[in-house]
A and B are shown apart, each in its own frame.
Chain A
Amino acid sequence: MSFASHIPGIVGVVNAMLRVATPILLAGLGALLSERAGVINLGLEGMMLSSALAGVVVSAYTGSALLGLLGAMTVGALLGAVLHGAVHILNTDLILSGVALNLAASAGTVMCLYWLTGEKGISSSLSSKVLPTIAIPLVRDIPLIGPVLSGRNVMTYVAFFAVPAVSMMMANTTFGLRLRAAGQDPASTAIAGVRVARIRLAALVLSGMFAGMAGAYLSMGYVSWFGANMSGGRGFIAIAAEVMGGGTAYGTGVAALVLGGAEALAVTVQSYGAPSELIQAVPYIVPVVALALYARQRQRRTAAQ
């Protein structure tokens, strides 16, 4: 077969990759912001889930997808503030609080959905809106890359434009510098007169907003409904993507694409008859292998110095 006959298939795989990578990248940037500020946000999973529900509910009641997105981001930000409050005011353990947030979100979303609609597990009676896809004039007519670059969901564009934005914010702004300082050496940062707790609060709130965008994409773009536990470990994958990316925004972007590509490729292989369960395991095994390779490389580098 000639190369040309494969093009629709390749475009399909690339599109699937972008689709899968979008929530991982958005949440991964959230993981990045909190991690660099010195707080591992294990609650990303729960934040995504809660904001996925918030997006569906708000957009169904207001009839506006944009308000749904804002609602989702607000819920994410609030949960970020709650996590900060738990850790800094109640003095709880950061990781266990994240786990608690996930448990609460998993149960709480089902309860909220039940109270609002009387349904358990899926929001089929809510006529929620979806976030639009964007067709870019001119670009969409370019052969080969046109169908890939144009016509994606708006959140996919947001996610990929957020990568340079976050990177620049981290490198070139006072806030970014303070955020990194708070993560690297909180004691010295505090001595230098920066309020570490506040920086971390801001980082967790921002992290929650990114998780909110990821959640909104899940329930208002990836699919058009909310289902119980629909985040399905993507928050954890996002954390893995951030670690794989070496703590940089661009690295996280590449890692999200690799993980998205692994899943997209796996789905394609599945249509040729490979066992679907093993395929579903791939996106969870790839980060482990990548983390191990990355850590080994880092270990060798430090050993060589």
Chain B
Amino acid sequence: MRKALYKRGARLCLILLVIAVVLWPVVASLDDPRGAFFTFVLGPFNDMRHFGNVLEATIPLLFTGLAVVIMFKAGAFNLGAEGAFFLGGVVATAVLLKLPLAGPLLPVVAIVAGGVIGASVCVVPAWLKASVGASELVCSLMLNYAALFIGLYIVNYHLRDPNAGAMLSYRIPLDGKLPRILAGTRVHLGLVIGLLGCALGAVYLYKTRWGYESRLVGSNPLFARHVGVRTVLVGLIAPCVGGFIAAAGGAVEIEGMYSRFSWTDLPGLGWNGLVVAILANNNPAFVPVAAVFLAYLEVGGDLLAQNFAVPAEVVGVIKALIILFSTMSIAVGNPRIKQLLVRVMPGARKLNTEVEP
């Protein structure tokens, strides 16, 4: 237990260090480094609107983060969450605009339809892997872009409002929008759905037979097969569930935040889901915390870019380094580094050669 705490603490320090190292040269080069620093660190909390922005940005991350966790836990190296999220948003928009349905059922139908169809981006590679043994990783990467362009085709040729000027869809009907739940912000019901999803995800992974089997396949496929788990089936179910969650997240995002569909490129939220999953140590229960943290960084970066001569991309570099440094198992791999670490901080001796799950 203490070792786990120690590890988690070390990791947190490392992430803070990464942020400091990336931010330092950026902020120091400005005229008002103090102001810039406080804008980044405290800006997201200094008024209700900005804090609302953090929660708004958290919502899609809850979905994509959970989706990636569920797929990675089952050992499926499937990077289709990005395309699934996008396609889910497109399909939900199509349902909202074309389905002659009114009342509270409309957004629900749109989320389910978006989730089911958008999930194909994750399911097709998994199915190709299960049936013929094609590379799930490469196929899912390709299909992300295929989903982007097919989605853009649907929007441009079937949903586009010719009077809107830019490539925007028709206005989404009011019935199809998710209600706001926090006065003074745009935080919508998606937050509750996402949190519920994470709770259900934790129950699924740790309290059900299916979840147990998928974790078994993820940690040791040979053993899982040996004890009679149908590994092929598990390898299919995880991308189905994960893809559905990511795509439903896209639908929720459209219903909660947009009055028209306006994405012209992959929004990058699937990749962010990967960062969330890694920050959450592949545990659904930690996904909300990780999602809020990443959203906080994003909003801080945006505020920095709005008020100072800094591109918002600075957060992108931080995200990349977070992936890198949180997946490394400190010192475990290289004995020389371990020696060095032990010399610097004796506590590192306790880090044994366990491989992270």
Contacts and interface: CB of A to CB of B under 8 A. Distances in A.
B327 A236 contact: no
Interface in B126-152: 128, 132-135, 137-139, 141-146, 148-150, 152
B323 A100 contact: yes
Contact of A107 (B133, B313, B325): B313
Contact of B142 (A40, A101, A236): A236
Interface in A216-239: 232-233, 236-237, 239
Contacts of A280: 149
Interface string A90-101: 111101110111
Contacts of B320: 100-104, 107-108
A91 B327 CA distance: 8
A293 B320 CA distance: 34
Contacts of B141: 233, 236, 239-240
Given A96-B323, A287-B142, A291-B138, A91 B333 contact: yes
Given A93-B327, A103-B323, A278 B150 contact: yes
B153 interface: yes
A108 B313 contact: yes
A88 B317 CA distance: 21
B307 interface: no
Interface residues on B, range: 35 or more
A295 B328 contact: no
A243 B135 contact: yes
A275 B146 contact: no
Interface size class of A (residues with CB under 8 A): 35 or more
Interface string A109-138: 011001000001000000000000000000
B313 A284 contact: no
A172 interface: no
A89 interface: yes
A100 B79 CA distance: 13
Nearest to B320: A104
B271 interface: yes
Contacts of B144: 233, 284
B195 interface: no
A100 B153 contact: no
Given A91-B334, A92-B328, A101-B320, A110 B132 contact: no
Given A91-B332, A236-B142, A275-B157, A86 B149 contact: no
A95 B271 CA distance: 13
Contacts of B329: 91
Interface of B: 77, 79, 124-125, 128, 132-135, 137-139, 141-146, 148-150, 152-153, 156-157, 271, 274, 278, 311, 313-317, 319-321, 323-325, 327-329, 332-334, 337
Chain A to chain B: the 4 pairs with minimum beta-carbon distance, closest first? A107-B316, A91-B333, A104-B320, A277-B153
9 contacts: A91-B328, A91-B329, A96-B323, A99-B79, A277-B149, A277-B153, A284-B145, A288-B142, A295-B132
